[in-house]
Amino acid sequence: MPHEADLPEIRQIFLSATAQDCKTYREAVRDFIEDNIEHAKIFLQENWAEGGHFVEPVCKRKVDECHAYLGLFGFRYGWTPPLQRCSITELEFRWAVNRWGEGEAPIFVLRPRPGTEAEQHLREQAARFHDQQPPADAEADRAAQRAFLARVDQWASNGRIQVFYDNQRQLETRAAFCIANWDLHVLRKARRGRFQAPGDIDRGELGRIGRKAQIDALLDAIDAFQARPTERAAAFLIHGPENHGQAEFIEYLRGSDDLWDGMDVCCGQADEPDSAESLVCWVCSQLGEPLLGEPTVDALAGLLAARLAKRSVVLILRSVGHAGGHLALFHRRFWQPLRDALASRPAAVGGGRLLCFVADHAPLADPPEPGFVADDPGAGNLDYRQIVALPPLAPITARQVRDWLGEIRKSAKVFVEDDERRSIADYATTPDGNPPNVFDRLNRHGFWKSRAR
Q: Tell me whether residue 196 is in a domain.
A: no
What pLDDT is attached to residue 49?
53
pLDDT tens sequence across 55-113: 888 888 889 989 999 999 999 999 998 878 899 999 999 999 988 876 678 999 999 99
Please report whether residue 353 resides in a domain. Answer: yes
Query: Domain count of the chain?
Result: 3
How many residues are given for the chain? 453
Return d(Cα 89, Cα 22) in angstroms, integer: 12
pLDDT band (50, 70, 90) for residue 5: very low
- Report CA-CA distances (Å) from 221 to 112, 120, 347, 366, 373: 51, 58, 21, 21, 13
Over the stretch 329-386, which tens digit does the pLDDT of each residue have?
A: 999 999 999 999 998 888 766 678 999 999 999 999 888 888 898 878 777 788 888 9
CATH number at residue 18: 3.40.50
411 and 323 within one domain: no
For residue 197, being part of any structural domain is answered with: no
> Considering the domain boundaries, does residue 313 fall inside one?
yes
Task: Tell me, yes or no, whether 250 and 372 share the same domain.
Answer: yes
Look at residue 200 and tell me if it is in a domain. Answer: no
Contact status, residue 73 vs residue 156, Cβ threshold 8 Å: no
pLDDT-above-70 percentage for the chain: 90
Lowest mean pLDDT among 45-49, 367-371, 401-405: 45-49
Assigned domain for 5 exists: no
In terms of domains, do 384 and 412 share one? no
Q: What digits encode the pLDDT tens for the residues 214-259?
A: 999 999 998 988 888 888 999 999 999 988 899 999 999 988 888 8
Instruction: Report pLDDT for 4.
Output: 38
Average pLDDT over residues 253-280: 87
Q: Do 10 and 183 form a contact (C-beta atoms < 8 A)?
A: yes
Answer whether residue 273 is part of any domain.
yes
Angle, CA of 304, 305 and 307, to the nearest 5° = 60
pLDDT confidence bin for 53, thresholds 50/70/90: low
Hey, what's the torsion of the CAs at 45, 46, 49, 55, to 10 degrees? 50
| One domain for residues 155 and 65 | yes
pLDDT in tens, 99-152: 887 667 899 999 999 999 999 999 999 999 999 999 999 999 999 999 999 999
- 69 or 203: which leads in pLDDT: 69
**Residue 432: which domain range?**
398-450
Say what the pLDDT of residue 46 is: 64
Residue-wise pLDDT tens digits, 312-327:
999 999 988 888 889 9
> Would you say residue 270 lies in a domain?
yes
pLDDT of 194 reads: 41
Residue 261 and residue 309 in one domain = yes
Q: Interhelix angle for 276-287 vs 297-308, to 10°? A: 30
What pLDDT is stored for residue 187 in this prediction?
63
**Whether residues 298 and 422 fall in one domain:** no
Choose between 319 and 158: higher pLDDT: 319
State the pLDDT at residue 79: 92
| pLDDT surpasses 50 at 9 | yes
Same domain for 218 and 271, yes or no, is yes
383 and 294 co-located in one domain: yes
pLDDT in tens, 173-194: 999 988 988 877 666 555 444 4
